[in-house]
């Protein structure tokens, strides 16, 4: 039986939890004014971008923001200007790492965040996401002289070596150093795999993709896991790239999207309408081709699926 003191404590706990929940629900609404209202007032559209995620977003040698996602955000800027009836719109670009970028979006410091950002449920507790703009996934970069057992396992060929796949997999993966970009879905995936397989290996984190690729190039890490298309880009332009390779395998399939403020449905609707118009009209093809090459039949189909009527 619960006494009066216990009942009182339970009621206080319930009240505290209710107050905490209410506070969490109010944070997005209080953190910033509605995006379109802020842009109308300032005639400024502020784009946050992640500078090391080529070909999605990169800070070019001349300091300009460039990339596939940047091109899409510029189309959003055009839509904003037209929707608000502005005679002029100042578009500003702010380079930021991904995690701080989420806070900048939530706080109203930037209106949209562009890059290769996977839309996850956990991240949706802080920010919102547009319709998908690309279907990405985790890949792995290795040196061409990587140990064959490691290459076989990562390519998915463990069963070819032995019917005891679990044993073969562990043998191929143990005693290696795996590099990951901190705060990414790649880090979460690698840590989960190492834990569930009981692998004795070391995981090192980096704060830029360039550093992760460099660790593998200098034999300071055996493999670097990140979005596969980003790995291909870095491997191709990295000094000594002839010693590096990106496996064909995808370890996950992830929707990449533009990041907007949580709870701001008017601005998100404008962003999604802009993207849908690009997908329906086929105008997305020019932007896509510039950074990835001409879209194939599957990519065209995905754009049809992404678009809203």
Q: Compute how many other C-beta atoms are within 10 angstroms of the C-beta atom of residue 240.
A: 11
Return d(Cα 11, Cα 5) in angstroms, integer. 10
Structure letter (DSSP) for residue 198: T
At residue 70, what are phi and psi to the nearest 5 degrees? -65, -40
Phi-psi map region of 183: left, alpha, beta (phi>0 left; psi -120 to 50 alpha): left
Residue 159 is predicted with a pLDDT of 40
Nearest to 184 by CA among 256, 77, 246: 256
Structural domain spans, the chain = 30-136+254-306, 138-246
From the number of C-beta atoms within 10 Å of its C-beta (0-12, 13-18, 19+), residue 100 rates as middle
Nearest to 233 by CA among 23, 65, 15, 68: 68
Rounded (10°) angle between helices 265-281 and 284-292:
80
CATH number belonging to the domain at 138-246, selected among 3.40.470.10, 3.40.190.10, 2.60.120.560, 3.40.50.720: 3.40.190.10
Q: Percent helix, strand, coil in the chain (nearest 5)? A: 50, 20, 25
Which tens digits make up the pLDDT trace of 283-301? Answer: 999 999 999 999 999 999 9
Same fold, 30-136+254-306 and 138-246: yes
Return d(Cα 188, Cα 181) in angstroms, integer. 10
Kindly give the parts of the chain with pLDDT less than 70.
1-33, 157-172, 238-241
Question: What is the dihedral angle through the alpha carbons of 7, 8, 9, 12, rounded to the nearest 10 degrees?
Answer: 120
CB burial string 256-275: b at 16+ within 10 A, e below: bbbbbbbbbeebbebbbebb
CATH number corresponding to 30-136+254-306: 3.40.190.10
Residue 161 is predicted with a pLDDT of 39
Which tens digits make up the pLDDT trace of 191-216? Answer: 998 888 877 889 999 999 999 999 99
At residue 195, what are phi and psi to the nearest 5 degrees? -70, -50
Residue 281 is predicted with a pLDDT of 96
Asked if omega into 55 is within 30° of 0 (cis), the reply is yes
């Amino acid at each position: 039986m619960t006494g009066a003191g216990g009942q009182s404590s339970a009621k206080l706990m319930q009240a505290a939890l209710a107050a905490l929940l209410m506070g969490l629900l109010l944070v997005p609404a209080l953190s910033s004014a509605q995006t379109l209202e802020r842009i109308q007032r300032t005639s400024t559209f502020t784009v946050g971008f992640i500078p090391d995620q080529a070909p999605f977003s990169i800070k070019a040698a001349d300091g300009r923001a460039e990339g596939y996602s940047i091109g899409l955000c510029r189309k959003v800027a055009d839509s904003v200007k037209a929707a608000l009836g502005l005679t002029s719109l100042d578009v500003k670009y702010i380079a930021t790492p991904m995690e701080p970028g989420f806070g900048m979006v939530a706080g109203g410091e930037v209106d949209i965040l562009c890059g290769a950002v996977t839309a996850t449920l956990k991240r949706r507790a802080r920010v919102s996401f547009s319709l998908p703009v690309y279907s990405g996934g985790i890949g792995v970069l290795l040196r061409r002289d990587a140990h064959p057992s490691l290459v076989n396992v990562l390519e998915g060929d463990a069963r070819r070596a032995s019917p005891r796949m679990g044993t073969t997999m562990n043998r191929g993966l143990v005693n290696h150093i795996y590099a990951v970009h901190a705060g990414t879905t790649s880090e979460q995936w690698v840590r989960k795999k190492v834990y569930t397989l009981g692998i004795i290996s070391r995981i090192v984190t980096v704060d830029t993709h360039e550093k992760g690729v460099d660790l593998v190039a200098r034999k300071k890490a055996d493999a670097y896991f990140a979005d596969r298309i980003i790995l291909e880009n870095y491997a191709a332009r990295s000094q000594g790239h002839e010693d590096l390779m990106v496996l064909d395998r995808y370890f996950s399939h992830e929707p990449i999207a533009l990041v907007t403020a949580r709870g701001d449905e008017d601005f998100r609707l404008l962003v999604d309408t802009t993207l849908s118009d690009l997908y329906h009209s086929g105008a997305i093809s020019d932007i896509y081709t510039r950074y990835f090459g001409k879209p194939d039949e599957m990519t065209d189909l995905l754009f049809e699926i992404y678009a809203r009527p």
